[in-house]
Amino acid sequence: MSTFRSPSATSSDSMSAPADAMSLRGTLRRSERLAERRIHGWAGEVSLADLARGTALGGAAAALAGRSVLLRVADPLYAAIALVEFDGVASRIVLSPPDLQDEALPGVVLQAGIEAAVTDGAEPIAGLPTHRLALPVQLQDSPPAAIASEWVMFTSGTSGPPKMVIHTLAALTGAIKPAAAGAPPPVWGTFYDIRRYGGLQILLRALFGEGSLAITAPDEPMPDFLTRVAAVGVTHLTGTPSHWRRVLMTPQSRALSPAYVRLSGEIADQAVLDALKARFPGAPIGHAYASTEAGVGFEVNDGLAGFPADYVGRAGDVALRVVDGALQVKSARASSGYVDGRTLAGDDGFVDTGDMVELRGERYHFVGRRGGVINVGGLKAHPEEIEAVINAHPAVRMSRVSGRRSPITGAIVAAEVVLHDPGADEAAAREGILAACRERLAPFKVPAMLRFTPSLPMTAGGKLERAVG
């Protein structure tokens, strides 16, 4: 039974045909190998053939037609299911990231004009009419996509509290190229959460590129996920440099043989690129520059850190320029604005990313965030450029640099370092690291304090956790 359409449904059906074709469901229905395609979650899996036609909401999607809906689930598999089901149906889909606190919900509901919630849990969300997602997917008629839904995502909040930005599916998929004819179907795997920009890109690549996808869940241990990745035959594996450094520390990583390795979300330094090249010699290793606000900027596939200087000013979908050391992006893939109505881009359409770059020879290198500078007596140091030098030391797995308050210079540079081998000679490593820093960095950037630690914390978004402010 399908009672989901308003009386005007008949007249709008011909109007909605292009919207339906553009939607996630319309895209899936055109797939020639839909029956083979799956999304593999931690707790279960779902067939894309079922998803293209069925519902995990017991038909409640009809009640959500034209509504602004908050998607707040514990298991990201349900986020993937709901996105397919709601795209083109809900007027706005607000994708709650896993670490959004309950206390923040009333403000989010108000700001984004949310009218209903969808969850995989038992409790109603923020006093809203709440619909529950459940597997298995039930096959039944579902409403055709009639509109271009707005997708609302949260920024990672690396500089200040998270903000909600609006995207369209067209902007989100702007960087995705069609699958090459005759290419084997990719099986994507990602360490990102698909409720964040980086992870969502991978979900969309799988859905639009005739692929399948393996996703992890917030509580799933990395070794367990890697075992699943190997079991389902993931060919395209993606994560942040922090994710990858963690992967390289697991014995399970030795059993992987991806056809493609991709990094984004943080600065990919030469050390992590080289380590991945050594671990996965057969795989091209690409790093992408993207942000929730500016969209996918570009990809770099030559195995080197940074990006060629001629990317700046070249013709194409994405225009780049550098203003006062900061990268600015103008792109149809950028967000159309914040939910509170503020625009992201300046009058000339460029979005200031806040990512600082430095020209060295023929290449731009990322040096850090504008807000993340350590001010040592008036001289500015970016934590990331110092970390890149520390990480290049052969004994180092990863590092975190921060400013330590100083009554003399305002701040000094402090470093925490994780070694590959916890039993290594720390004194020798310290000498080697500091010698490398002295050779390659200005004296005030050389860590004044350096301590070794067994591990460094990662945010829910898969980035190295940094103190705010």
Q: What span, in angstroms and rounded, lies between the C-alpha atoms of 295 and 404?
A: 33
Phi, psi of 44 (to 5 degrees): 175, -175
Q: At what angle do helices 270-279 and 383-391 cross, to 10 degrees?
A: 40
CB-nearer residue toward other proteins: 12 or 406: 406
Phi, psi of 42 (to 5 degrees): -70, -45
Q: Is 355 exposed, middle or buried (0-12, 13-18, 19+ CB in 10 A)?
A: buried
Which two three-digit tokens encode residue 56?
């995990």
**Is residue 377 a contact residue for other proteins (CB under 8 A)?**
yes
**Is residue 217 a contact residue for other proteins (CB under 8 A)?**
no
Binding string, residues 10-49; x marks residues near other proteins by CB under 8 A: ----------------------------------------
For other proteins, the binding residue among 221, 404, 425, 468 (CB under 8 A) is 404
How big is the CA angle at 419 (ends 216 and 275), to the nearest 5 degrees?
60
For other proteins, the binding residue among 315, 408, 427, 467 (CB under 8 A) is 408
Q: Which candidate, 463, 377, 467, 465, places its Cα nearest to that of 191? A: 463
Binding string, residues 430-449; x marks residues near other proteins by CB under 8 A: ----x---x----xx---xx
**Is residue 423 a contact residue for other proteins (CB under 8 A)?**
no
What are the CA-CA distances from residue 80 to residues 24, 25, 91 (Å)?
11, 12, 17
**Is residue 453 a contact residue for other proteins (CB under 8 A)?**
no
Which two three-digit tokens encode residue 11?
């007249």
Q: What span, in angstroms and rounded, lies between the C-alpha atoms of 49 and 185?
A: 15
Minimum distance, C-beta of residue 372 to other proteins, in the bound complex (Å): 20
CB-nearer residue toward other proteins: 43 or 449: 449
CB-nearer residue toward other proteins: 63 or 442: 442
Minimum distance, C-beta of residue 392 to other proteins, in the bound complex (Å): 20
Query: Taking a C-beta distance cutoff of 8 angstroms, is the pair 418, 399 a contact?
Result: yes
For other proteins, the binding residue among 61, 147, 300, 412 (CB under 8 A) is 412
User: Which residue in the block uniquely carries the two structure tokens 């241990």?
Assistant: 221
CB-nearer residue toward other proteins: 177 or 405: 405
CB-nearer residue toward other proteins: 214 or 401: 401
Q: Which residues bind other proteins (CB under 8 A)?
A: 376-377, 404-409, 412, 434, 438, 443-444, 448-449
